């Protein structure tokens, strides 16, 4: 389909619903042109991951590596911002960096490879620019950070200002920025300090903190003791804020695509 044809379909009143998955910039522009249509938007994110002091560290490391670097980070719910409690910072970060350093980068057709290429050279270079910017703003590279053609290695950073694009925008790359926190309130506030709100993972053994996170995080989904990248087809999936509106998932998508109608049947007295 051409761009011209897509634009005509967006504006054509004969179509009663617009469902779009893609970038926030494109999605919200389409919504502005869609007139009276019902809109379902599944857009981007910079997913947060909270690791509380009661987290199972071995499990959290294993899942965090997957959530950060699977598909070369090119999913909208890839782990991008990681918040680690100060009591477990040294142990978790040491194991996380070591596990990421052992990932093999290369041809995705090779079954021994863990991290394949990015979609193109332009996106690898964009990621390089964001990493360089973060370093120039005071960030510290713990791993990776150097593009090679279309490949970008697993990259972990700390001390990055929240205003850097590596934090504030959607990286869509194998790039993780880690922060230390001291209370769950602080971690929740920092996750919410974002234009996006798709999903967040919370590793904790404290049921009170689990419910607190669920109640206060400004996201479409909270995954307890797993990564924000977790998704199955029959769950309601979608975000708030710049991450979109409406929900995907079989039942939930059908509800979004249904116009409810009532018939009132009265009998003469």
Each residue of 207-216: pLDDT tens digit? 999 999 999 9
Average pLDDT over residues 2-12: 89
The pLDDT confidence band at residue 188, using thresholds 50, 70 and 90, is: very high
* Same-domain status, 33 and 52: no
Average pLDDT over residues 170-187: 98
In the predicted structure, residue 77 carries a pLDDT above the cut 80: yes
Which H/E stretch holds residue 185? helix 184-192
* Same-domain status, 110 and 28: no
Domain carrying residue 28: 3-42
What's the number of CA atoms in the CB half-sphere (13 Å) around residue 188? 15
Average pLDDT over residues 105-120: 96
CA-based torsion, 95, 86, 47, 24: positive or negative: negative
What is the overall mean pLDDT for the chain? 96
Tell me which residue has tokens 């194991």.
Answer: 95
* Residues 6+ away with beta carbon under 8 Å from 260: none
Domain tally, the chain: 2
* Same-domain status, 210 and 91: yes
Global model pTM greater than 0.85: yes
Domain annotation covers residue 131: yes
Q: Active-site residues: which are they?
A: 42, 76
């Amino acid at each position: 389909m051409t761009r011209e044809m897509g634009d005509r379909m967006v504006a054509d009143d004969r179509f009663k619903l617009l469902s779009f998955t893609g970038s926030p910039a494109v999605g919200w522009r389409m919504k502005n042109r869609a007139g009276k249509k019902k809109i379902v938007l599944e857009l981007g994110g910079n997913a947060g991951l909270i690791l509380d002091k009661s987290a199972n560290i071995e499990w959290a490391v294993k899942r965090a590596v997957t959530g950060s670097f699977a598909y070369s980070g090119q999913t909208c719910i890839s782990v991008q911002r990681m918040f680690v409690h100060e009591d477990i910072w040294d142990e978790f970060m040491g194991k996380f960096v070591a596990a990421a350093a052992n990932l093999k980068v290369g041809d995705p057709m090779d079954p021994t490879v863990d991290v394949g290429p990015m979609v193109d050279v332009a996106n690898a270079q964009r990621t390089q620019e964001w990493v360089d910017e973060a370093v120039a703003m005071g960030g510290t590279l713990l791993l990776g950070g150097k593009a090679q053609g279309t490949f970008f290695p697993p990259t972990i950073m700390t001390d990055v200002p929240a205003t850097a694009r590596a934090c504030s925008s959607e990286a869509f790359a194998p790039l993780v920025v880690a922060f230390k926190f001291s209370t769950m309130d602080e971690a929740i506030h920092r996750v919410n300090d974002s234009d996006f709100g798709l999903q967040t993972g919370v590793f904790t053994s404290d049921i009170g903190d689990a419910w607190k996170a669920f109640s206060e995080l400004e996201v479409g989904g909270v995954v307890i003791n797993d990564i924000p990248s977790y998704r199955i087809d029959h769950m309601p999936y979608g975000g708030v804020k710049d991450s979109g509106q409406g929900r995907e998932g079989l039942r939930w998508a059908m509800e979004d695509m249904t116009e409810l109608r009532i018939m009132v049947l009265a009998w003469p007295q």
